[in-house]
Amino acid sequence: MAAGETERDYVLGTHDEEIERLGLQHRVWRPRVLDAWRRAGFSAGQTLLDVGSGPGHATFDLAEITGPSGRVVALERSRRFLDALESVRRRRGFENVEGREVDLDEDDWSGFGADGAWCRWIFAFVKRPRALLSRLHGALRPGGPLVVYEYLDYSTWRLAPPSPEMEQFVRLVMESWRASGGEPDVGLNLPRWLDETGFRIRSLRPILDIVAPSDDIWQWPKSFLEIGLRRLVDLGRLNADRAGELGGAFAAREKEPGTLMVTPAVIEIIAIRR
Ligand SMILES: C[S@@+](CC[C@H](N)C(=O)[O-])C[C@H]1O[C@@H](n2cnc3c(N)ncnc32)[C@H](O)[C@@H]1O
């Protein structure tokens, strides 16, 4: 398989390093996510959907909430991610988790009568986000909550004081997502699209942090940058020498006293299926 190409691949890749990065990312985000699920009313005995689950880091947290009397269905296109999910499912003995191979752009998967759905960093990558919202509407029971995390403004991801190398990296990432049919700032469109598709917005929250290298949250964008530089080289969007310079500039700034990072702005949406 050529670098940067399929296994029903997508712009960030589905390799082992990415599975690990998604795990670290979920660990950093878990406290906020658990709080959002609690506010949305996710609870024991429910059927919940993890839409675009990746290797399932959030799926198993959802399954702990539903308990054995409920279930979680993880919908994902990547066979590699689903295999990783299945091996964790077996090892941890979760009978109430099922992974399904689904292309959210192509396949019809409505009709679960689900009690709730979780969807994080998916609308930014699919080619037809409004069609995905319609399917989500069809998959939820009336009154069922949908919790979404997407980027609102990816370009807020900067170092303070500013770094031209960091800003080039962020620009290239945004271009690569757009070139593959996605839209990093899709969170700006979702509230209106949700309303038009038959959802009522219950709450909207922006999430953005300003962190120092000693802060645990720093590890999340840092791990994305390390893997992202290699990915941009694989995709032919950056040459290896320049990737080395960008990585070196980041490492130097990380060691400099007083460096801060502003994270890419995320929107948290809790919407109710009308
Ligand atoms: C950034 S990851 C987020 C994974 C997970 N939601 C999380 O928060 O850890 C994006 C995921 O979307 C999946 N994906 C992208 N396009 C897809 C499509 N058309 N159908 C199904 N899954 C897709 C990728 O395979 C990947 O698992």
> What are the pLDDT digits (tens) for 225-265?
999 999 999 999 999 999 999 999 999 999 999 999 999 99
Joined tokens for residue 191: 């509230």
For ligand 1, the distance from its centroid to the CA atom of residue 75, given in whole angstroms, is 9
Distance (Å, whole) CA 195 – CA 96: 32
Range from 8-12, 14-18, 76-80, 153-157 carrying the lowest mean pLDDT: 8-12
Joined tokens for residue 104: 């959210």
Chain centroid to CA 90: 24
Decide: residue 159, CB within 10 A, 0-12 exposed, 13-18 middle, 19+ buried.
Answer: buried
- Would you say 169 and 230 are in contact if contact means Cβ atoms under 8 Å apart? no
Overall size of the chain counted in residues:
274
- Would you say 206 and 153 are in contact if contact means Cβ atoms under 8 Å apart? no
User: Which pLDDT belongs to residue 7?
Assistant: 63
Joined tokens for residue 184: 């990093």
Joined tokens for residue 255: 């060691």
With a cut of 60, say whether residue 3 has pLDDT above it: no
Q: What is the mean pLDDT of residues 33-40?
A: 98
Distance (Å, whole) CA 232 – CA 240: 9
Taking only the tens place, the pLDDT of each residue in 57-74 is: 999 999 999 999 999 999
Joined tokens for residue 167: 């800003």
With a cut of 80, say whether residue 5 has pLDDT above it: no
pLDDT band at 2 (very low <50, low <70, confident <90, very high): very low
CA distances in angstroms from 243 to 80, 144, 171, 229, listed in the order given: 27, 45, 13, 6
**Owner of token pair 């990380």:** 254
Distance (Å, whole) CA 38 – CA 49: 15
Atom of ligand 1 nearest to the CA of 118: 6
CB 89 near ligand 1, within 6 Å: no
CB 57 near ligand 1, within 6 Å: yes
Distance (Å, whole) CA 164 – CA 159: 9
In CATH terms, 16-273 corresponds, of 3.40.30.10, 3.40.50.150, 3.40.50.720, 3.40.50.300, to 3.40.50.150
CB 94 near ligand 1, within 6 Å: no
- Would you say 59 and 130 are in contact if contact means Cβ atoms under 8 Å apart? no
Q: What is the mean pLDDT of residues 90-113?
A: 95
User: Which pLDDT belongs to residue 82?
Assistant: 97
Q: What is the mean pLDDT of residues 135-154?
A: 98
Chain centroid to CA 266: 10
Element housing 242 (H / E)? helix 240-255
Average pLDDT, the chain: 95
DSSP string, 100-139: EE--TTT-------BSEEEEES-TTT-S-HHHHHHHHHHH
Taking only the tens place, the pLDDT of each residue in 163-188 is: 999 999 999 999 999 999 999 999 99
Atom of ligand 1 nearest to the CA of 12: 1
Q: Provide the angle, in degrees to the nearest 10, between the axes of the packed helices 164-179 and 219-234.
A: 60
CB 220 near ligand 1, within 6 Å: no
Domain boundaries, the chain: 16-273
User: Which pLDDT belongs to residue 111?
Assistant: 85
Among 15, 50, 76, 266, residue to substitute to test ligand 1 (most atoms within 8 Å of Cβ): 76
Distance (Å, whole) CA 212 – CA 231: 25
Range from 27-36, 38-47, 106-115, 150-159 carrying the lowest mean pLDDT: 106-115
